Amino acid sequence: MLKITFLGAGSTIFARNVLGDVMCTPALCQCEIALYDIDETRLKESEKILQTINKNVNESRAVIKSYLGPENRKEALRGARFVVNAVHIGGYEPCTVIDFEIPKKYGLRQTIADTLGIGGIMRALRTIPVMEEFARDMEAVCPDAWLLNYTNPMGMLTGYMQRYTNIKTVGLCHSVQVCAKWILERVDMLDKLENHQELIAGINHMGWLLEIRDKDGNDLYPEIRKRAREKNQAGKHDDMVRFDYINRFGYYCTESSEHNAEYNPFYIKEKYPELIERYNIPLDEYPRRCVNQIKEWKELSEKLVSDSSLTHTRSHEYASYIMEAMCTDTPIRIGGNVLNTGHLISDFPEQACVEVPCLVDGAGIHPTYVGALPPVLAAMNMTNINVQLLTIEAARTKRVEDILHAAMLDPHTAAELSIDDIEKMVLELIEAHGEYMSMYH
């Protein structure tokens, strides 16, 4: 029987989407699902909700089992063909709060802090040791399984797993498959979406929409550029940073403006506070979302757990489509995060983790060659890749000195703080994270 293991199953809504998709897929629905988490309450809630969906959409053909805590993780993984990773190490409290509040003391403001910046670096460094444990368990009990990683920071975590473990790993992010729709919707060109042609490549959360054409092959970028410039001039909206990218660099990118506001030295600057207002940048956005989600979940969980009529419709998340393609040898195309082996993107080093179109079939995941990016886009990506590679090196060596190198090379951090303050801030963050960072010396 096909076995699918979900690590971080306490992420109930996401587990519901991915595993609900599995139950809606004929080639996958008669499977064993292993739910793993360290939070007993959240694990029980997820299992209850998934059992209900299994009964209502799948005639109870999936076998669902729960596994609580590290002592049961190996059993959860045993014999799995696919492992989905959606863990959040350290949670909102204490770790996310620490990642925002300590930098704020030094005058360093953030929006999301889950991909790059000092928050992204810290999140990677406390998550990689746990993912390394996952890898060792997988190497022991399901060495041929595919790890589908959804946890951020995607480039750092996926890149580490691909370079320093024997587990077949791909990083997945839903921002790729919705990128074209987002931009066409925002510039009132949604009528061009059907059967459009696109090429997206770069790195996670800064993958570039390099080409977009309508069903007849007409280039849509000239009109997109015109409308994007007009929209930013007309007044505030929620995507001003990415529209500014279009204006200044010529291209749109995959992840939101609130994310991209902190991946560069341009928009969040203490010396130019008016930029926050001008580009409508939501500082401290991720903690705000966490607080709201925690509050909403308390109300929503009771409703979902007790809803015996709960059902599901297959979502656009890549996971079930990848599993289906591999199990049936029916090819599909995805945007995947893979090592830049063979210089898929010729501008970047081979050890970089890149986001490129990939073919998926019964033989696995096959990344496609993209070649060179427009020079300014490659340069923008490299400022992020530098930090990713240095953070991965710090995770490998466990040396604080290497963490400092990553922080010093971060574009936003270096633009705001002195090198001495960067060092003080990093040391304070490591101390504040306690056991989550105790392996670094």
Catalytic residue numbers read 174
Sign of CA dihedral 393, 394, 397, 401: positive
Q: How far apart are CA 188 and CA 193, in angstroms?
A: 11
Tokens 């923008």: give the residue.
Answer: 380
**DSSP 8-class letter at 95:** I
Query: Residue 199: in which H helix or E strand, if any?
Result: strand 197-203
**How many residues make up the chain in this entry?**
441
Secondary structure (3-state) at 170:
strand
Name residue 211's beta-bridge partners: 199
Specify the DSSP class assigned to residue 373: P
| CA angle, 390 then 85 then 314, to 5° | 130
Tell me which DSSP letter residue 282 carries.
-
Listed as own residue / partner, the contacts of 97-105 with beta carbons closer than 8 Å and 24 or more positions apart are: 97/287, 98/122, 98/429, 98/432, 98/433, 99/123, 99/429, 100/284, 100/286, 100/287, 102/425, 102/428, 102/429, 102/432, 103/425, 103/429, 105/425
Cα 216 to Cα 177, 193, 197, 223, 356, distances in angstroms: 20, 11, 9, 15, 24
Three-state secondary-structure class, residue 372: coil
Any residues with CB less than 8 A from the CB of 67 and at least 6 apart, and which?
34, 35, 36, 73, 75, 76
* Pick from 217, 274, 224: nearest CA to 245: 224
Tokens of 184: 């066409």
